[in-house]
Chain A
Amino acid sequence: MDEQEAITAPGGDQLQKGGGARRRFQRAKHRREPQGDQAGAGPAPVINMAELRELVGLIATHGFTEFELEQEGFRVRLRRELASVQTSAPVGQTGIVAPPPPNSGPVATVEIERERREDEQPEEKLHIITSPIVGTFYRAPSPTAEPYVKVGSHVEPETVVCIIEAMKLMNEIKAEVSGTVEKIYVENAQPVEYGQPLFGIRLD
């Protein structure tokens, strides 16, 4: 089994931790559509309160325990402590609001961070290879074969780093940069989302 820390992914609008088919299928419904060619795409708008409430509703309805959304210089993280009963969550103005009451039933806590967490600083220099599609991540051509790359492997732009499978179409993913594999964020044969970080590469 690969290192557990592998799943702490930097950036991206991925959901932290867990994975697993059921949650992934749900996530697929809520992910933002990849932008088409026509999107001249200025900076993404900062989320407003109505959207935040909607998000909280979604995590309550769909049984997420954690949800994280990051846009430029802005991050929302929603976490539900006890998932047995659905609830509408308290939402405040800014900052950290509504600490869970003692002996609380299910509540949602909302953190809004205006800056990146410090523990991500070291990773900011890594080039992140993300998944171009929704599918299953394979590190090797077969379960018994050596992985395409490991932590410490040197990659060139043409180096195949993994396969992503969707509808049984096997997609070779290339590094597209030169550098050294420093992080692998996903375990073999796990589902991945569009845009989800797969590898962190220390560029040459």
Chain B
Amino acid sequence: MELKATILRYESLPSTNTEAANQARRGAPEGLCIVARVQTRGRGRQGRTWASPPGAGLYFSIVLRPRIEARWWPLLSLLGALASRDALREACALVADIKWPNDLLVEERKIGGVLAEVIETELGRACILGIGLNLRDGALPPEIRATATSVERVSGEAPNTETVLQALVRAIADWYGALHAPAGPERICREWEASSSYAFNRRVRATVGSETIEGLTRGLELDGALRLETEDGRIERIYSADIVSLRGVAG
């Protein structure tokens, strides 16, 4: 299982995920990577925007056509976070934390994010894995400076975008290969647990719509769901929620 990456570079795109999805629908092969120097309509989940000023971040999407059971596909979301963490470590000597399932944090501030979308194409289902990394301070508009950060801000040095890109593509290929190998899902989950301060014994609040649930984290299920032990000792499995750390709030 080897992922062959082809990188298409654009000066400007509305969104690298949208472009990758369009190309995938027209039959683009697995491994096609779309990179833009600027995104005019960079986006996150549910229509949230991803600030993407020229050259300030890495704006990247890759077309994947996994040959794994449907129940393991959500692990691609975690895989995106693992690969991003690897890239930041290798290219920027930076250790990022991962908040479930796929936010990248440094000093509790978001330095990168993943937008994973599954679409139908003429070649079957495909996953568009989008990754945005804040490399320079210019990536951060004033309104997010309190909750986001950049490589330049935390390391004092602006990294070379191309170096980060190459490291990221390598890391995705490695983890993607691992996911397809025997016991792949387990490897992804164990590595995620080893990389995230949220994996164990973290007091968090999970919010789904207007409902919330609090508990201590107890690692991952094999499909990537977060295990949460509530006060009465039950283990809840979280598939879909926004997670907030209660450290400092509840001790």
Q: Which residues of A are interface residues toward B (Cβ below 8 A)?
A: 20-22, 24-26, 28-29, 34, 62, 132-136, 138, 141-145, 158, 165-172, 174, 189-191
Contact = CB atoms under 8 A, between A and B. Distances in A.
Given A22-B211, A167-B74, A29 B237 contact: yes
Interface in B82-124: 101-102, 114-120
A191 B208 contact: yes
B123 to A, nearest CB: 14
B224 interface: yes
Contacts of B160: none
Contact of B120 (A134, A141, A144, A158): A158
B216 interface: no
B71 A167 contact: no
B45 A165 contact: yes
Contact of A24 (B208, B212, B223): B208
A143 B45 CA distance: 10
A156 to B, nearest CB: 12
Nearest to A134: B239
Given A166-B240, A167-B74, A172 B118 contact: yes
A191 B240 contact: yes
A145 B45 CA distance: 13
Main secondary structure of the interface of A (DSSP, over half): mixed
Given A26-B236, A132-B70, A167-B78, 18 more contacts: A21-B212, A22-B211, A28-B225, A62-B234, A133-B71, A134-B240, A141-B46, A143-B47, A144-B47, A158-B120, A167-B102, A167-B239, A168-B77, A169-B76, A169-B77, A169-B116, A170-B116, A172-B118
Contacts of B211: 20-22, 24
A120 to B, nearest CB: 28
Nearest to A191: B208
B174 to A, nearest CB: 20
Contact of A142 (B46, B119, B241): B46
B131 to A, nearest CB: 12
A167 B225 contact: yes
Contacts of A167: 74-75, 77-78, 101-102, 223-225, 239-240
A116 B240 CA distance: 33
